[in-house]
Amino acid sequence: MPLTDLKLISYRNYINSHFTFNEKFNLIIGENAVGKTNLVEAIYLLLNGMFLRELQIDDVVSFSHTHAYIEGHVNCGNYTISYDVTIDRNRRTKNHRKNGKRVNIDELLEDNSVVTFVPEHLSSVKMGSEYRRMLTDHSLISLNKDNQILIREYKKALVHRNKILKNFVEGLQTKEQTEQLLKAINPLFIKYSTLLTVRRIHFLALIEPMMNQVLDQFFQGSDFLQIYYIISSQRVSFDTSYDQLYQKVEGYHWERWQQLREAELRVGYSLFGAHRHDIEFYFNEKNAKTHCSQGQQRLIILSFKMAQMTLLKQTRNGDFYLILDDVLSELDLKNQSVFLEFLVQLPSQVFMTETHDHHQWKPQCIKKEFYLRHNHLNFKETS
């Protein structure tokens, strides 16, 4: 179901622009600061209902304008779906519609799965644990909208729990009142945290062998990758049935609460839960964060994203969109070719941005290349 066109009005640097796309591969070329990233971020917002990066309403409405508007159409063969979103700077709201009727983010995620790959992802191995959790959670959302609902409910429970602890530290409630409130919220908080943890582990167990298959293409040797999920410095085994894993993880949570309950009352926020877990990548039995070169770390994350795409190809029959924002510039020519050869085998629609038209090898499915200048896409036919 390709996105055929896109209209942007007062969205970032686009005052009134209209674009039409290839149904398969869209290579968008332009200099820095011409709006390539803004364009693909608008596609993501239209189809998934969320901002691609940590953006606010004020960031996306053009300067001196009060509203931004995005509209696009998806070709479903015998019929067309129209999506649009209106962003109101004054009310600080964004309203999504499908065929003229209001829809929420969950409904958009049910319709559209979007995989994103941006340069920041390539640093996930060496950055803090929150980056690896975010990488994994975004993958879960692309696979199933129920994961987005679970993550949202977990965050709500976490905010509620943290407010209870903060109120105690600030003297707004007694210790007895606080413990009663925690006793009420803990079962729900631990339930959501356990479910999210188990789904993360299940996903990582699925993609680990896929990542190793991809890495074989890059390194062409006996290199081996292992993924570990860490709860309170303990590795959780992937070789466990769902019920056993759930019981084990749930037990970890209750145990940590008993260990940390007094400490939480001192600091005023939650010291255990899925937001504190880590994911470690081991390459040839060594922690990739400290022992791998920057190039190796990038290839590990590249293999992660390729495994995610492979899993989506299997579960959604290739019915997803792929956004690649200036990722190839981080790879050498050999690895660019391996990645591009992989991309053309996917049945999904691809939007890829690049700064320079300098690649020696390009997918044959590119019928035209788009050149972005002054908020307009010009194109040239390829041979």
Tens digit of pLDDT for each residue in 361-380?
Answer: 555 545 455 555 555 555 54
**Span 224-237, mean pLDDT?**
91
Tens digit of pLDDT for each residue in 150-172?
Answer: 999 999 999 999 999 999 999 99
Q: What does the alpha-carbon distance between residue 340 and residue 317 come to, in Å, rounded to a whole number?
A: 20
Q: What does the alpha-carbon distance between residue 72 and residue 97 come to, in Å, rounded to a whole number?
A: 11
Q: Check residue 357 and give its pLDDT.
A: 59
Q: What does the alpha-carbon distance between residue 189 and residue 159 come to, in Å, rounded to a whole number?
A: 10
Residue 142 structure tokens? 């692309």
pTM (whole model) above 0.85: no
Instruction: Look at residues 14, 27, 85 and name the one whose alpha carbon lies nearest to residue 349.
Output: 27
383: confidence class by pLDDT, cuts 50, 70, 90: very low
Q: What does the alpha-carbon distance between residue 370 and residue 22 come to, in Å, rounded to a whole number?
A: 10
Q: Check residue 382 and give its pLDDT.
A: 45
Q: Check residue 77 and give its pLDDT.
A: 84
Helix (H) or strand (E) holding 158: helix 145-169
Q: Which residue has the higher pLDDT, 103 or 341?
A: 103
Fold of 1-113+317-383: Rossmann fold (3.40.50)
Q: Where are the domains of the chain?
A: 1-113+317-383, 121-315
Q: What does the alpha-carbon distance between residue 378 and residue 110 come to, in Å, rounded to a whole number?
A: 33
C-alpha angle 168/170/176, rounded to 5°?
20
Name the DSSP letter for residue 359: -
Q: What does the alpha-carbon distance between residue 192 and residue 174 come to, in Å, rounded to a whole number?
A: 27
Q: Check residue 294 and give its pLDDT.
A: 82
- Could you tell me if 341 and 309 are in contact, meaning their C-beta atoms sit under 8 angstroms apart? no
Q: Which amino acid is at 155?
A: K
**Domain 121-315 CATH assignment equals 1.20.1050.90:** yes
Q: What does the alpha-carbon distance between residue 227 and residue 225 come to, in Å, rounded to a whole number?
A: 7
